[in-house]
Every structure is written in structure tokens, then in C-alpha cells.
Structure 1
């Protein structure tokens, strides 16, 4: 909100007021009653709605016989809502958001439980004269009874006082005696108390009834007007201008106007605002009669208020739709049309909310709101009307329109977690307005909802607040009685409003007007220019059934300057960015949501994504050219700041892939600062009508705010509907941490996904590449958690997207570990220490070495190797044991997806063909990318093929189980001296079906052995120095690491059905190592081309070692029978 709203003394002219009941809004402590803590929690929702002023219904100490209008203490908050400190916190937070606050001051009467009245019942008390007493009940006989359906008299006998006391409302609400100067002074003190608390305005409830005089109606008496003016003068003397009084004077216009007062200079001396009660029922009457006459007649009668005064205008509120200011005939008509069922009639009015009053007809609801927001005055929205809440006729009095706010389809409509019987009032839980049908959550996620319409309507009014809040209103004399047409003008700005009250399309011929001269009407919602007006001639348009237009009248020159047609994206002038600029009306939704976009912005936004994607570490298809990108879907997770979770489809030739892309916005300088830190995170800049600065659209995953939003969304078990499907959060285990996160730690660097740690307790992972089906990590973590495997984090929950009959896992939440370091870093550091220890030192002359593959029960690592590589050998042994333990738990699966299966009898042939196909694909990729290091010639590939033939005739005898699937040191965490296994996604380049398929356990073993080689080679490459002995040490170390790992693994899993027999184990392991190395080559070329040398070197080593593995198989011997031999020919 602009800062001038909190400093402008005429702020109330620009106010968009939201009326709410603290008790009905949100229950933060789950005792069944709404409270100020709950209201604070929901301020972001109100901020996003666009309202800038909150009007709170009574919240003071009260016995609640009249919903708080029976005050028992003017200086205390009703405990169920909190206390004064809670109220002060709310005031501070509202002001921080640029919002003003109006509260209730019930001047006329108190509760009969108020200490003042209890004391006043004693005729000898000093306070006896604070109330109006009489020996008889025949005084003021000319005064009407307001609640004719419950009260027979305005007098009630008090046995203790032995007198009658006066009450204009219910008998439990005795009227104060304003003829007593002590009462007038005390009520002034009450007013000062709340203004001192920071309140911006007070609604003077029942203000017309302060004084009583014989022979009069005792309403709107001169004494009342004088006291109001006395209050105004006292307020301005104490606070200066800006504190507002809002009169609740349910009177005819001529009786309400005096409350404003008017000085000689035309400014007000009484209240600054008053409710325009008479205009409300006539607007509904005009709509039903499809004739503007009842409305415009009353509109003319409410003119003539002081220049600085303002009407508060509304469609519905917490009371009945009053029919006091209509004729008897009109009252009967309104009852028959809007309340044919007597249950909806109360006192002299109709107790219905807006949406059921208009029979849920969306076009009529939009029309009535559009008229309201374009009239002269400050509009008031009654809580829940923005989402179309209904009412409950079975609740007594006016409680049927005061039911709890409906936040979600969950228990009690999301209002409270208290048991149903403890709620102060039941939410609407049946029929078309039940909370599982009408609620904020569903409305927020439906871009076509009434809520979104109201946000746009409010935003448009605020963009033109000067003309709507302070401009003149001139009715146009059009012939068609079904059309309401008028011009709003302020200085050089003119807006034409045309509204069709008929259920049928209607033509309207607009007469010539000075505002139309040389003007082009531009429809504000779509920014579409209509044909220009012609000089001195009428202008004809057609308005659809219950339709309306807001036209801004602009010159042709201005239209040309604004370039309303979609421009080609400009380039941002920001110092850190050459990103394109898109001009949109509201914000990010205009480029993400097709139904909220204008022109080709979604297509143009998508056209910017290929360049953006090529810079992202998580984008795993850099080796393929991008033909096209589409935004498949998007869901808004939050509005302050706006956060969307979008799904994009990337096309490569005949194939395509889905990716998640979280997006948010930041204004100019903040956007520049983000780009300084994350130069590849920006996508585009937005130039919006609502913001003075450009907005940067960026990948939200680089900021803490996104992870806080996503975590909160998950913790609340949110469920959001988009254009294409449903997004659903699900918790699988309970957490003790707060719903609102405190600390966020982002994980960056070499990841295929995005992740963060929340409050050091939860690890949140967002999958970037999406595929249909249950994600393997979700399945495996759930299984390992269920079987209490101690060396992997527990699964806490998931986030899924359901598109009709398809499901995609978007992310998971799991236990966060107290990280010391990851396995890769630990191994790399250990390898560097190893190289430092052996620097410039030859291997011992008697350095026996184990074979490249196979256990060596006869040979333990020699002392000299343990002395130089203790950390790495320890890692290899521990991980060998942990890997086998993990496989043993995974082999316990009982569901179809997790149950072990027998290995195919032709496993060797299948594996040979698969590896050869991968070899050909790898060779083609190397040729296409001119790799920095490649195999020398086709001879090497032929050697590979020749050694693979040994697999063809072998029958495997083992079971296949679900695997980790992408097993390497980077998936290991070291915490508290122990190693934990993470990331059960499988290899990102493989399809989801492949990753979920049971396979040979040696694939995981091969992955870890390859990773250890990665770590040692990486350390060697970075090792500074020309050491002639380093190569021998490195290759010897790798052999001992292999043997140590395999020994530990086999000792743990030797008797399990998933482990191949010894006589075939090592040939298959060699094949899986080759398969893994081929995959690594392709992965590195597509993602990190500068790393491709490492798996290529490993592939050379494997080809050199092939005879060892083949020999072990052909001879049917174990590696125990092999004599140690020196390593030769290694690259």
C-alpha cells in the first residue's frame, strides 16, 4: 500500500473497507472462538485481497447477548479474543502492512451487566443518573420500537431501582443518559482510549438515539448532532486531522446529512463518514425490477455532503438488509422477491448474505460489486462475501450471516481445530454453501473464482482511487431503463460506467458529453480499446446480460503512447540484467495462467525459457537442443510475496520432458541484488500497472522465502486445484517443529534437484524432472522407514500433482541429519591426505597387490597401506557393510512394487546386449561432441564386445530386488561419526519405470566402486606436484578399496538370495562397472563436459582388467586362488 495512505488525513476517501468479526474469522488457539492472534495470522490474506481498511465488529468485554453490542467494559478486550496486548500487536501488524483500522464504539447503551448499570440500579448511587429512568412507562410515547419482533416497549421495570429504565434496543441494553455531562465526558474518555491505542476510526453505533425528548421521535435530535460535533472538535484538538468517526445512522438521507455538519468553507464539522443505508435496498430493487429508477432516485437524494466527507457504501453487512427506508408496497415487493421463505425475514429486513440473496448467480454478484465499487463513496466488503459464503437460516437472530469464515474444506472449514461442539457457532456444513464447497483454499487455487474477480476489481479501483474515491458522479440520461450509466471524473481523468440490470443483453445509446470529446473508451479489465467517440453524436454499445463496462476515456495520442497492443519484449535497463521486459496488467499470473493472460504473454514467456534452462545445474538435458517450451500448469502457493509452482514441458524433436519451476517476483533494486548473487536465476522483468518498479521473475528456489512457503504449505496438508489438476501435500509422520519455519539452509551446487533444510529438522527436496508414476525415492524411503533401517533418514511426507488419472511426485520431506560432511567431500579430503603421505615415495619393493576384482580372504591390506590410507579403507569397509544391510531390508518388500523377483534366466545375454547398446550410444555421443578424451579407435570397442560375450551363455541364479539406483559417495552423509545413505531417486537420465524395476544388487555395488575411483582420481588430478610414483600409489589404493568394500559386502550378504554365486559374481560385477562407466560418460557430456575425462579413464581401466574377471569365471575359481600380481598398463 502506498505510504501516503497512512499519512493522508483524507485516507477514508481511498478506503476499501473489509468488515469482519474477530470471533468468526480465525481461531489460532483452537478454543472455538476467533481471536486477535488468528486475525494477525490471516492479515496476508487480507493484504492480498487488496483491502486497505479493516472494520472490526465488537470485541470488548460483553455477556454476548447481542453479539458484543452489549458492552460490559469499554476498556477491556473479551478474553476469548485475547487481551489489550494482543490487540496492540494486531494494530502494529496492520499498520506495518499499510492498513487502517476502524473499531466499534457503542455510544448509546451498555449491557445491563456493565458495572455502571449495576451501580446505577441503586437510586442513591452517583451513577444512577448515568441512565434514563422513569417512575412510569408512558414517557416518550412517540418513539418507535426498533425490534418489533422481540420488544413490546422501550421501557423495562427494574426491581432493585423500583423504576423503569429506557432502552431503544433490547431490554438487556439500557440507554446511557447523555443529558448527564459526566456521561458525555466518560464516553469522550473511552474514545480517546482507543484512539491512543492507534485505532484510526470509530464506528458510532446507534448514534441517532443518544437523546430523548417528549413529543419527538427521539432520533437525530439537535442535541445529538451537537454532541457529535463536540466529539469531532475534541478529537482534532487532541490528535489533529486523520482520526475518523463513522456514523451508523440507519435513516433517510435528509436525516443523515446533518451528522456531517458543515462549516462556512464547505468542510465537515461532525462525522467524516456515514453509512448510506437507503441506497442499499434500492439497488437490489432495481436489479430485480431490471429498472434503474428506484436506485437513481435515492442516489440523487444522497448528494450534497461536505467536500471532505464520504459515504460508506455496502451491499451486505452483519445486520439484516434493512427495509425501513422503503414504502410499504416496496417492502412487500422485496420480501416476495428476496425472502419468500419467512425464515429469512427478521425485524424490518432480510437476513441473508449477498451470494444466496442473488441465488448464487455469478453474473449478478459481479454486477452488483462492480456498481458498488464504481459509486461515489468508500466500498465495504462483508467478510466471506468475496468467496461467496452462504448463510444458515436455522441459527437464531442474525447469527445466520455471522458464521465462521470458511478457509478450507478441512475440519470446521479451517476456522478452528477445536471439537465441533466447542465452536461458538457451527460453520455452514450442508448444502451448496457448505465449507467443503465454498472456501478460501479452493477459491484461491481456482483462477476463475469469485475471489480472483474481487481481487481484480479491488486492484482496478485502487489503480484509479482518485477518480473513484474523490471524483464527481454524473448520471447519464439514457433511454433504456435497464441501463445504469454514469461518468466519474477527477481532474483530467474520466471513467464511464455502464451496467445492465437486465437478464438479457441490452443496447444503450449514450448521449454526447464533454468527457467524450475526442476520447477513446478503453475497457479497464481487459485494457481493450473500443471505437472512438465522434464529435457531437451519440454512441451506441451493447451490454451483455447482467454485464457491465468500466471505460477509461483517453485521447488517441495517449492510446498511442501506451501502446495497448502487445509490444515485443523490451530489454531491462537494470545494471545486472539484459533480461526482457513484459508489460502486464497485474503480475506473474498474467504470463503463467492462460485465463488471466492478455495477448501472447504466456507464449513469449515460454520462449525465454530455453536460454534460462541451459544455465541451470538441475537441467539434465543440456546435450539436446530445445525445440520448444510450454508452461503446462501453475499453482499459486502464496501471495505475499507471490509464489507459483509451475510445471513446464520441454520439447526435443519427437520427445518431451516435464520439469518443475518455482517462480516468484522481486521489485527493482531487490531484483538487482538477487541477480548479483544468483546471476542465472532471472527469467524476465515485468512492468505492471500496479507497480512503479519493474518486477524480476526468478527461480524462487534460490531464496529462503520459497522454502518457507513450500514447507508451510506441506505442514498444513494443503490441497490446491489448478487449471490442469490438483496439488496435494501429505504428511506421513508427525513433527514437533513449528508450522512456520524459522531457519532455512539452502543446498546448492551439483544437484539434479533443489533442496533445503528447515529448522535443522526437515530436509525438503523439490524434484526438477518429473515423470508419471510413484517416485522411487518415495517408495523406498517409506519402506526403509517402516522397517526401521537406521542408516537412512525417515520419510516425513510428500507433495504430489494429480492430473486426471496420472500422478507425479513433485517433492518429498524427510528427516534432516546433523551433517558433518558428505561422503564425497570426506573421501576427497581423505584421498588428498593419502597423496600427501606418499608424496615422492615409491611403493614398497614387496608391495603385493590384490586382483582388480574379487575378495581376498587370504590377503588383508598390508600395514603400509593402512598407515597411508586409514580413512579411505575404513570408509570402504563401513560402506560395504551398510550397502549389504540396506539391500537386505529392501529384499523384504511384500508389495507388488517392492517384492523381489527371480533374475531372468538369460540375464547374461540381456546384460550383454544392453551394455553394447549403451556403448554404441556413448560412442555416438563422443563423436557428436568431440570429447576432450575418447577411446583411441574402434579396436577398443571391439575388445569390449569380445569380453562381453562371456556373459552370453551364463545362467544367473539369484533374485533381483529394488535398488538405491544412483549409489555413490555423494549420496552418503557422515553425521556423528556414522555414514547415512540418501537420495533414492535412481539415475536421473533413466525413466521412472526403469528406476522402479527390480535389478541386480551388484549395480549398486558397482556404483559405489566407481564413485570411490572418482574421488581418488579427482584428488590426484588436483594434486599439485610432479610425482613419478603417484600413479602406482593411486592404482594400488583403488585395488585395495575395491577388495575391502567387496569383502565387507559379501561377508554381510553372503547367504542372501539377491547375491550371485562367487563363480559368476565378478564377471557380472565387471559388466555392471562397465555399464556404469558408460552411463557416467554420457551424463558428464550432457551436464559437465569438462568432467568427461574421468569416466573415460575408468572405462580404459576396466577394459584392461577384463581378462581377470573373465578368467575367474571361465576357471570357476574364486579370487582366493589368484596370486597377487602387480598392476600394469593402467591409464
Structure 2
């Protein structure tokens, strides 16, 4: 078998995503902070993770919860200080945990000093740091729409120009065609590398080479030139994990992004599987039942295509997505079983698994009144669809299913007030089920979702076949079972999962009925080898 020690460290690792605002508040202001994360490092070490991906903590007016950065080289006071960040990096290292920073390089805040200067005149040295078009007020350069609603173009009266913003009007897009912008960005990345961070997650990085006049936003013609230049000037100088968020990625593009020659990133987040429960060609709010057969084929396609050529990011959840146990599991009577099953499907594949905070506890979606939500996208879609005449019940059904605040409710630590997240008033309401679902209870229960995740993480360290093995999907057209094998030289794993809530027959091919050892199951006891209980998951080592 291949020696895992010869691998880049991140191939053998599991990453835990923290949304700092919602993780742990240390000073009673109702907002999570860096000191709160330091206070919970023992918990994360117990889970067994290797790195923390921090959603943005840089200085920001918080128009889009930190994805609008006003100073890339300072920490927002709500989270702490640069000193706190240096302390977090050092303390995490003591727990053998690396810190991955979330960098937003497609756009800045309109309150960044560059943009403040850029708006002063067309001759200002910072003006060309952003994307501008001459025009006439009321006559937009084109009809491109921003992701958070409205036009991509915003008029600035004093300049007689429009600036381009793919997201909020307070998030003007940076002009990557300007070499001075790129140089500023590379200097900043190297500054963070000198601070000892273990890597970077690059927000919407496939948008940086946009061509607005041609209505091209992602995968612009210069994209890979820019990424390779950035990698040469920064990432390749250290032993880092780098992951690009690329909604428009395909397997062939991912082979470029995650080429083993290290010329771009370690891996990308692709989202093809994430869109399988919405109406085709429509928005995420237009709900449709999950196409399970397609889900299997999509995940299999990425496993097979990247094997030996690139690297997968494995995830069900993040700060922008609803809780997976509510989305594709059963967050009522089979919450524990379905959460473990979904984890099994993912963690035995090839790639780096990402656990989003609370996923290891089986935290669930919420149903709030509209004025209790804080997410700009959720509030905008409510307003937009109300104006279009959608029924309130229909809009709220979509928000309950897909709203981003589902993932952003405070972490559920214990059954004390506000789930142990804060002694103050939480910035976002805590999920009322925290008295039954919390870390304190999970740590005491040998059969908890948390302890199951620990076992999955340990298996990844134990079996090189999970890192390097070839993937083969079984029972491709079976409407209930997600089954596959992983094979490396003389080692073969068989993973069998019942994706739904009915007891069914286990129809695995004849050759897999031979001698095998059950190394993990999400039930204390199977009924029999031929029967799968609701959401049952098994991992076998073939003899």
C-alpha cells in the first residue's frame, strides 16, 4: 500500500468550517469571536479534525456578514484583534490544528480605502482597482443582474460612471486586469502566510476574470492565468491547503484547479450535487424533490474523473447551505440514523471532507418569522417574491428549505440559556431544539452523531484505501441504496447506505456476499445482512 506520509498533508485531513459569528461568544455581546474559538479547541481536537476553515473575520461593515472586506490585513473588532488571531493560530497549532482563512478576492467592501479613493475621481490611482463603465444615468451598460437582486451596475453621479457589483451594491468588484490590484492581493496573502496560517479558502474565485461587456462572470478567458500567477507568487512558497469556491466548475476545469503539479489550488468546491433539489433552470428557491439517481451519478462522475488527476472537496453543508439532515435526511424520528448515513456516504469517498459546525451534532433547519432572519439574501428574496405576487406561505416554504440562516444559527453547546453560545442576546435566534441537540449531550453518548464522526475521521487515518483507492458505483439505478467500493491494491472497502426511511432488502451483487468484516455501522445491530433498516449505513472491509 502507498505510504500516506508521502502525501500532501491535506489529502489525509478533515477540515471543520467555523462561522465565527455563531460559534462561541466569549464576551457576552451576542456575537461569536476568536477567543470563543480558542476556548473550544479541546472540543475540536476531540473530534479529530486537522484544520479549521474560518469564514471571514477581516474588518468589514458586515453588509454580507463579512464577505464584504474593508481591510484585508485587520480583524473586525466584533471578532477581536490581530493579536487574537495570532493567538488562535498559535493555540490551534498546539492542538495540531491549522487555520484556513477565507479570502474574498472577487470584490471588496465599498468602505475599503481603495474604493473610497476610487470614487474621488477618474484620475485617482485607485480608480482602476474596480470595474467602471461610462454612461448616462438610467441607461445601464447592460441588463446583467446581481446575485442578491437588482442590477449589477450602480451609478456614481460625481463620476458619470457605473461600477460593477456581482453581489451587493456595497461589494464592488475588483479589477483583476490591473496588475497593481494583483500585486496588492499577493502581498496581502504573503503577509498572512508569514503569520502562520495553514491555507486559504478563496470565495467565488471563478468570477475574478469576468468580462462584463460580454456578460461573462465565471470562467473568464484569463481565469487560470491569474490563478497560476497568484499560486506562483504566494501559495507555492508554503505548505498550504488551498480551496477555491467554483460554482461553475466541471470535472475538466477541476483538473486544472486541482492539478497535482500544484500550479493552482489543492482542490475546489464544486456544487453540481447541490442543485439537484431545485427546478431545472430556475433559482434555488424553486423547490423540487431530490433526484437520487442523479445524485449518485453526479458524485460518482466527480470521483471517477478526478482520480489520479485532481482532488475532490467533500461536503454536504456550509454557511450558505441548509442543514443536510433536514434537507436530504430525516430531522425527526430518524435524525441520528440519517445524519450518520449521510456522513458515511461522503467520508468514505476520495477527497478532503469538510464538516460544517454543528453537522457533527445533527443540528437542524429552523422555521422563524421573516423578521427574525438576518441574512441579506433571505430578506431580499422575501421582498422580491412578495412584489411579484407569490403567496407568503410559498415564499416561507422556500426560505425554510434553503435559507442561509438555517446554517448560521448559534452553535448548540449545552442546554443552558442560549445553548451556551452567549451570556448576552444572540445576534441570531438560537434553534429552540438546543435542549435536546447539543455538544454536552453528544459527548456523553457513545452512540451520538459526534462519536460516529470521530470514528469516520479515524478510519480515514487508518485506511490508505480511503485516500487513494479507486471508486466504483454499485447499483446505479437502485432507487434507495447508495453503494460503492473503494479499491487500492489488495484492499477493498464496500460502503452500503439506505438513503431513505423504509426497511428494504439489501440487493448487493453476488461477489460482495463473500467473506467481509463489518468495520462500521450506524445501528447497534443489523437485522441481517440481507435487510437494510431505515437510513442504515455499513462499511465493510472485504476479505
Q: TM-score, normalised by structure 2?
A: 0.82
1:230 aligns to 2:229 (yes or no): yes
Q: CA deviation at 1:526?
A: 6.5
Residues 468, 488 of structure 1: 8 Å contact kept: yes
Residue 54 (str. 1) matches residue 49 (str. 2): no
2:397 aligned partner? none
Q: SS of the counterpart of 1:221?
A: coil
Q: CA RMSD in A?
A: 2.9
Measured against aligned partners, the alpha-carbon deviations of 1:452-481 in whole angstroms (never above 9, x if no partner) come to 3332333333332x2222321111246644
Residue 290 of structure 1 and its aligned partner are, at CA, apart by: 8.9
Corresponding position of 2:384: none
Check conservation: 1:488, 1:495, Cα contact below 8 A: yes
Provide Cα deviations, 1:524-574, integer angstroms capped at 9, x if missing partner. 12799x9xxxxxxxxx833222212100112xxxxxxxxxxxxxxxxxxxx
* Structure 1 partner of 2:285: none
Which residue among 374, 377, 397 is the counterpart of 1:396? Answer: 374
- Paired with 1:203 and 1:219, the residues of 2 have a C-alpha distance of 17
> Is contact 1:508-1:542 (8 Å) kept?
yes
Question: Equivalent residue for 2:380?
Answer: none
Q: Say if 1:272 and 1:308, in contact at 8 Å, map to a contact too.
A: no
Assess, with a 3 A threshold, how the Cα gap between structure 1 residues 541 and 284 changes in structure 2: closer, same or farther.
farther
Q: What's the offset of the Cα at 1:382?
A: 1.1
CA gap 1:461/1:261 in 2 versus in 1, 3 angstroms = closer
CA distance in 2, matches of 1:267, 1:413: 45
- CA gap 1:206/1:480 in 2 versus in 1, 3 angstroms: closer
Count of aligned positions:
488
Aligned pair in 2 of structure 1 residues 485, 400: CA closer, same or farther (>3 Å)?
A: closer
The yes-or-no answer on 1:412 pairing with 2:412 is no
In structure 1, the partner of 2:485 is: 487
Instruction: Tell me whether 1:278 sits opposite 2:248 in the alignment.
Output: no
Q: Is 1:295 aligned to 2:295, yes or no? A: yes
Partner of 2:310 in structure 1?
309
1:236/1:17 Cα in 2 relative to 1: closer, same or farther (>3 Å)? Answer: closer
| Contact 2:258–2:310 (CA under 8 A) maintained in structure 1 | no
Q: Per chain length, whose mean CA-contact separation is higher, i.e. which structure has more relative contact order (CA < 8 Å, sep 6+)?
A: 2
Cα distance in 2, alignment partners of residues 381 and 104 from structure 1: 15
Unaligned runs of 5+ in 1: 321-351, 531-539, 555-1131
Q: Is the CA contact (8 Å cut-off) linking 2:345 and 2:482 kept in structure 1?
A: no
Q: Note closer, same or farther for the CA distance 1:252–1:15 as it changes in structure 2 (3 Å cut).
A: same
Distance change (3 Å), C-alpha of 1:510 and 1:258: closer
Rounded Cα–Cα distance in structure 1 between residues aligned with 2:29 and 2:534? 46
Match of 1:425 among 407, 423, 428: 428
Secondary structure at the aligned position of 1:192 is classed as helix
**TM-score, length of structure 1 as denominator length:** 0.41
Deviations 1:684-737 (A, max 9, x none): xxxxxxxxxxxxxxxxxxxxxxxxxxxxxxxxxxxxxxxxxxxxxxxxxxxxxx
Distance 2:345 2:421 in 1: 31
| Structure 1 pair 359–548 and aligned structure 2 pair: CA distance change class (3 A) | closer
> Is 1:355 matched with 2:361?
no
Distance across 2 between alignment mates of 1:236 and 1:81: 26
Query: Could you tell me how far 1:161 is from its partner in structure 2?
Result: 3.0
Report how far residue 503 of structure 1 moved. Answer: 2.6
Structure 1 segment 312-323 matched on structure 2, within 5 A: 312-320=313-321
How far apart, in 2, do the equivalents of 1:283 and 1:467 lie? 31
CA–CA separation in structure 2 for the residues paired with 1:117 and 1:132: 11
Aligned residues of 1:498 and 1:549 also touching (Cα < 8 A): yes
Distance 1:295 1:400 in 2: 22
Give the match for residue 246 of structure 1: 243
- Given that residues 146 and 168 in structure 2 are in contact (C-alpha distance below 8 angstroms), is that contact kept between their aligned partners in structure 1? no
Larger radius of gyration: 1
Q: CA deviation at 1:493?
A: 2.0
Distance 1:212 1:275, change over 3 A: closer
Shift of 1:506: 2.7
**How do residues 733-772 of structure 1 correspond to structure 2 at under 5 angstroms?**
none
Whether the aligned pair in 2 keeps the contact of 1:140 and 1:215 (CA below 8 Å) is no
Deviations, residues 165-214 of structure 1 (Å, cap 9, x unaligned): 10111111000001100001111112111111111111110111112323
Three-state SS of the structure 1 residue aligned to 2:74 is strand
How far 1:68 moved relative to its partner? Answer: 0.2
C-alpha distance 441-185 of structure 1, shift in aligned 2 (>3 A): same
Note if 1:549 corresponds to 2:519.
no
The 5 Å alignment of 1:970-989 reads: none
1:367 deviation in Å?
A: 1.4
Question: SS of 2:325's equivalent?
Answer: helix
| Structure 2 Cα separation of the partners of residues 284 and 144 of structure 1 | 20
Aligned partner of 2:383 in structure 1 is: none
Q: CA contact under 8 A between 1:61 and 1:73: conserved in structure 2?
A: yes
Query: What is the deviation of 1:272?
Result: 1.4
Shift of 1:140: 5.5
Instruction: Report the 3-state secondary structure (helix = DSSP H, G, I; strand = E; otherwise coil) of the residue aligned with 1:48.
Output: helix
- In structure 1, the residue matched to 2:207 is 209
* Pairing of 1:793-942 with structure 2 (within 5 A): none
Q: Is the 8 A contact 2:236 2:262 kept in 1?
A: no
- 1:271, CA displacement in angstroms? 1.5
Counting only pairs closer than 5 Å after superposition, residues 375-390 of structure 1 correspond to structure 2 as: 375-390=349-364
**CA distance 1:408–1:481, shift in 2 (3 Å):** closer
Kept in 2: contact 1:387–1:451 (CA 8 A) = yes
Counterpart CA distance in 2 for 1:527 and 1:218 is 43
1:291 and 1:481 in contact (8 A); partners too: no
Question: Distance in 2 between the 1:206 and 1:26 partners?
Answer: 26
What SS class does the counterpart of residue 525 from structure 1 fall into? strand
Distance in 1 of aligned mates of 2:105 and 2:454: 35
CA contact (8 A) 1:267 1:308 kept: no
Change (3 A) 1:207 1:473: same
1:99 deviates by 1.6
User: Displacement of 1:255 after TM fit?
Assistant: 7.1
- Alpha-carbon distance in 2 for matches of 1:509, 1:9: 36
Structure 1 position 128 matched with structure 2 position 127: yes
SS state at 2:72 partner: strand
Q: CA deviation at 1:9?
A: 6.1
C-alpha separation in 1, matches of 2:253 and 2:158 = 38
Please say if residues 47 and 454 of structure 2, whose CA atoms lie closer than 8 Å, have aligned partners that are also in contact. yes
1:520 to 492, 495, 515: 515
Contact 1:22–1:34, Cα closer than 8 Å, also in 2? yes
Q: Find the counterpart in structure 1 of residue 150 from structure 2.
A: 152
Conserved? CA contact 1:291–1:501, under 8 Å: no
Equivalent position SS for 1:211:
coil
Task: Within 5 Å, give how 1:663-742 maps onto structure 2.
Answer: none
Q: Deviations over 1:833-877 (max 9, x none)?
A: xxxxxxxxxxxxxxxxxxxxxxxxxxxxxxxxxxxxxxxxxxxxx
Q: Equivalents in 1 of 2:289, 2:29: separation in Å? A: 46
2:457 is equivalent to residue 458 of structure 1: yes
- The corresponding residue for 1:44 is 42
Q: Using a 3 Å threshold, how does the CA distance of structure 1 residues 281 and 468 change in structure 2: closer, same or farther?
A: farther
Cα 1:409–1:184 change in 2 (3 A) is same
Following superposition, the deviation at residue 523 of structure 1 comes to 0.6
Residue aligned with 1:247, SS: strand
Structure-2 change in CA distance of 1:278 and 1:177 (3 Å): same
Provide the rounded CA distance (Å) in 1 between the counterparts of 2:145 and 2:214: 12
Which of the residues 86, 89, 92 maps onto 1:88?
86
